[in-house]
Amino acid sequence: MIHSLPLADQSPPDDARDHLLDWTPQQLTTWLSDCGERAFRGKQIWQWIYRQRAVEFGEMTDLPASLRRALAERFVIFRSSIAKEETSPDGTEKLLIRLADGGEIECVLLRDGDRRSICVSSQVGCAMGCVFCASGLDGVDRNLRRGEILEQMLRLQRRLPAEQRLSHIVMMGMGEPLANLENVLQSLDVARSPDGLGISARRITISTVGLPVAIDRLSRHAVPYNLAVSLHAPNNELRSRLVPVNRKIGLQPVLDAADRYFQSSGRRLTFEYVLLGGVNDSKTCAAQLAALLRGRPVLLNVIPYNPVAGLPYQTPSDAQIKTFRQTLESAGVNVQFRQRKGSEINAACGQLRRHRED
Ligand code: SAH
């Protein structure tokens, strides 16, 4: 199901007002005090945005009318627009978001039992060049600002009825979150804050291609987010073919950095493995993978490939998936085969944008 939407809650492209979601609470408090307003107004404004889901200052009825006017002259709340939206029968919703400069990114809401998880982008495009992924086919345009990351979360929260709240966040949309770590961490601070979305760090996962220096920075940040490392191959030769940044980094330094993250955060690591038919789905690959993960307290998340038009990769057959799974399970690996939720709406990384460009 595809709709094109004329939306009232977006600012015109040449809007010179600041994006309020880019501002920290401290910056807003300073601005309020410069305007002669009391500091508690800041908390009220954030609560209107994150809790009451306000999209315009006019909705903030417990603020003085003069303040509402001053805010609307100085700021916009939503800066992007929804270029396209798709809903799949299992309740998955995917948004293609057009940013103020015309760049396009994707984000997804997944409904699963009581869970209301969102998958959020961190960059326009991606520089990592994973050969099977739609997001990086044209390289990276730029990092997203903190407000642009937060706006995806708010737009997805608005898809839920008022009594439902977002429960989980995964930084698994377009881009490499650890290549934009500062803005990602700032936006997640707001996601965790009781005045923000109030989602605990334990329910937030950062997924990375595996950049050891940035993983160490994340360890020092000392907020126990879950870390998922996209492995995709059990040896250097194959990984360098599928994940080109591996040529400069190598598999072992990625595993070492992941081990250090586990030691500092105490959070069980996840390794992700996209299963590509005839490429990395052999019994030998499964056995090598089991040997690599032995002794590591990790969850292996195997994701059958979601085909991307124009790329020569395929989803493995059910029989191949079964053999791969049995080999891992009999070696004692803690493995989970992810359901392909939302695959009918191009819900894998970068696919919706690609589809539209075609
Ligand atoms: N750059 C980060 C996060 C974005 S990708 C990372 O590499 O982890 C999120 C996950 O989706 C990665 O594991 C990625 O390999 C996987 N992915 C990308 N394209 C896919 C596709 N077509 N089918 C299945 N999984 C895909």
Residue 273 and residue 175 share a domain: yes
pLDDT at 230: 98
Characterize the bridge pairing of strands 104-112 and 123-125: unpaired
Q: Could you read off the pLDDT of 111-126 as tens digits, one per residue?
A: 999 999 999 999 999 9
- pLDDT at residue 2 tops 60: no
Ligand 1 centroid, distance to 188 Cα (angstroms): 20
The CATH number covering residue 282 comes to: 3.20.20.70
Residue 187 and residue 55 share a domain: no
Q: Ligand 1, residue 232: give the atom nearest the CA.
A: 15
- pLDDT at residue 136 tops 90: no
Residue 299 and residue 216 share a domain: yes
Instruction: Decide if 6 is inside a domain.
Output: no
Ligand 1 centroid, distance to 212 Cα (angstroms): 18
Residue 146 and residue 55 share a domain: no
Residue 89 and residue 61 share a domain: no
Q: Ligand 1: does its nearest atom lie under 6 Å from the Cβ of 285?
A: no
pTM: 0.93
Q: Give the C-alpha separation, 279 to 293, whole Å.
A: 20
Residue 92 and residue 178 share a domain: yes
Residue 294 and residue 210 share a domain: yes
Q: Ligand 1, residue 351: give the atom nearest the CA.
A: 22
Question: Average pLDDT, whole number, for the chain?
Answer: 92
Backbone torsion region of residue 105, taken as left when φ is above 0, otherwise alpha when ψ lies between -120 and 50, otherwise beta = beta
Instruction: Decide if 3 is inside a domain.
Output: no
Report which of 118, 110, 128 is spatially closest to residue 187, judged by C-alpha positions: 118
Report which of 35, 1, 49 is spatially closest to residue 190, judged by C-alpha positions: 49
pLDDT at 134: 93
pLDDT at 14: 72
Is 106 a catalytic site residue? yes
pLDDT at 344: 55
pLDDT at 343: 57
Residue 255 and residue 215 share a domain: yes
Catalytic residue among 104, 106, 176, 272: 106
Domain total in the chain: 2
Residues spanned by the domain of 69: 18-76
Residue 144 and residue 47 share a domain: no
Q: What is the CA radius of gyration of the chain?
A: 21
Q: Ligand 1, residue 229: give the atom nearest the CA.
A: 8
CB burial class (10 A; 0-12, 13-18, 19+) of residue 203?
A: middle
- pLDDT at residue 223 tops 80: yes
Q: Ligand 1: does its nearest atom lie under 6 Å from the Cβ of 208?
A: yes
Q: Ligand 1: does its nearest atom lie under 6 Å from the Cβ of 274?
A: yes
Q: What is the mean pLDDT of residues 131-141?
A: 93
The residue out of 76, 107, 123 marking a domain boundary is 76
Residue 149 and residue 263 share a domain: yes
pLDDT at 101: 95
Read off the tokens for 272: 């992700």
Q: What is the mean pLDDT of residues 82-92?
A: 94
Instruction: Decide if 59 is inside a domain.
Output: yes
- pLDDT at residue 12 tops 50: yes
Residue 134 and residue 61 share a domain: no
Q: What is the mean pLDDT of residues 266-295?
A: 96
Instruction: Decide if 226 is inside a domain.
Output: yes
- pLDDT at residue 21 tops 80: yes
Ligand 1 centroid, distance to 132 Cα (angstroms): 9
Q: What is the mean pLDDT of residues 12-17?
A: 78
3-state class of 265 per DSSP? Answer: helix
Provide the b/e sequence for 237-270 (b: ≥16 CB within 10 Å): ebbbebbbbbeebebebbbebbeebbeebebebb
Q: Could you read off the pLDDT of 239-265 as tens digits, one per residue?
A: 999 999 999 999 999 999 999 999 999
Instruction: Decide if 251 is inside a domain.
Output: yes
Q: Could you read off the pLDDT of 42-66 as tens digits, one per residue?
A: 999 999 999 999 999 999 999 999 9
- pLDDT at residue 347 tops 70: no
Residue 181 and residue 37 share a domain: no
Band of residue 3 on the pLDDT scale cut at 50, 70, 90: very low
Read off the tokens for 94: 């995917």
Instruction: Decide if 195 is inside a domain.
Output: yes
Ligand 1 centroid, distance to 349 Cα (angstroms): 6
Q: Could you read off the pLDDT of 179-204 as tens digits, one per residue?
A: 999 999 999 999 999 999 999 999 99
CA atoms within 13 A on the CB side of 294: 9
Band of residue 338 on the pLDDT scale cut at 50, 70, 90: confident
Band of residue 15 on the pLDDT scale cut at 50, 70, 90: confident
